[in-house]
Chains A and B, each alone.
Chain A
């Protein structure tokens, strides 16, 4: 550090010095940074194992300087279960998109939560299939246009967009569920706090923790990053409200 300068911001040592493949403005990179800051702050690099399944974040292991397993599309929860059960003292997370977690991998997701598997889901809900070029996801909003619903999602035939945080919060063995976002610095800080809390609950052996990120996808939404934040505020949060959906510590206090 040069004399007279004060360090106010740096890349966490747990994030590799590599240019990310994510599009400009995408929350994936923000969430990656938060997770790795937390790993650095909690000094758990040697205890953390991540799972990244197929989706835009399949390359996460190129950026996160921790041990990682890449999983088949939809199978991250089963893979994370396998890791955590044989290494119960490690901090394990799965990092999944909405197609992965709520379409092809729904069974694995729900059953891991039902068993209360003691790992953390980081669920990036961008309402679309990013990696394959912008097809409809189970979370695509009513009327939202994608390449496979070019006239807008028709909820009569495609069903309603799935509210995963709400669904997951109904499982008794799930200890913490919060939906966060990164549209403002305040919300971004909340998102980081939520992830840290989830890791802490996991370290206390409290059962499944689930952080949903109401995320953007400027490229496939065909919006600028700034416009994508507006879309989040106008369309996404009204349907997918931010907040804590389940916190067993609070529930216990209330009892």
Chain B
């Protein structure tokens, strides 16, 4: 049965994972997402998922590999330094096509950085943080409700494409409390004939590997992955548009910044300024084509990417706009959330 609750983002995410049929969780404590493992530990007696506080994120991601490869619906959560440590495993899982859900509740970096919210891991998430030619599917929630909805979606996408799927949530989304509708629990029935569950006489042995020592084989493996990414690019682009139809100036923002941007759009509209917001929800695949279409409209004068980093997603906006219109950037660093006031000022300055 669905339920309405007031919940913290991290706890809502944990509850959603249970309801979405998660069978195993592996993690290592790190602020600002330790509430996930704490919540799951508290709820464990009522459910039958596996829960391990691993000795490191490196171990956690490899437990994810093993259990995901054994056919279970599996998840890990971490924050920036922990996700860096996991990158080796992410690359291996991408190549071996192991479905799993990972959540990075991003804090400010580089290095140990700060525990305050950031979007500094955008490059790592969408351009491939580990080695080799691969992508993970990346979703960028902007509310506690989306933390919940994206968990269901991420499990589905991971299974559908046999691909590691990442929820990239800036720290604030994990920490804030909001009203949320929790969907009814589902009974998950795995249907994974490729999983290593023990070779029965009716089939060949199942092997999960990322090793293709002959270049020709490795190229074929890569082509298979690339073909899959093409399908994902076609089917799984998600975005939200707000006051775009007549907008002359367009903010592009995801996660928490999109909430701030919406506020700025409302203020601008009150003052008669035609500002709009484009919010990518899937960060990989990125809605390049749709942004490109918007850039084609004569009325559109410029784009400005608002981020909590030194300017990362702005590169994708530039790729999408492809020189058709100017693309600007405004952001704050080090765990500082830009205020609507300073964001609005930055936009007005560009308008001149």
Contacts and interface: CB of A to CB of B under 8 A. Distances in A.
Interface in A47-74: 47-49, 51, 58-59, 61, 64-72
B59 A80 contact: no
A85 interface: yes
A8 interface: no
Do most interface residues of chain A lie in helix, strand or loop, or is the interface mixed? helix
A58 B67 contact: no
Contact of B64 (A48, A58, A82): A82
Contacts of A79: 62-63, 65-66, 69
Contacts of A67: 196-199, 205-207
A107 B63 CA distance: 13
Contacts of B88: 72
A255 interface: no
Contact of A82 (B65, B96, B197, B209): B65
A49 B198 contact: yes
A242 interface: no
A107 B56 contact: yes
A124 B60 CA distance: 25
Contact of B62 (A59, A61, A72): A72
Given A68-B205, A108-B55, A86 B50 contact: yes
Contacts of A107: 55-56, 58-59
Contacts of A61: 205, 207, 209
Interface residues of A, number: 34
B71 interface: yes
Interface residues of B, number: 40
B237 interface: no
A81 B196 contact: no
A61 B89 CA distance: 20
Given A67-B206, A69-B196, A70-B211, A82 B62 contact: yes
Nearest to A87: B70
Interface in A107-122: 107-108, 111, 115
Given A75-B58, A75-B89, A46 B200 contact: yes
A72 B50 CA distance: 22
Given A107-B56, A108-B55, A108-B59, A85 B65 contact: no
A86 B23 contact: yes
Nearest to B67: A82
Contact of A85 (B52, B60, B200, B208): B52
Task: Name the 8 nearest CB pairs between A and B, nearest first.
Answer: A82-B66, A78-B62, A82-B67, A79-B66, A70-B209, A67-B196, A82-B63, A75-B62
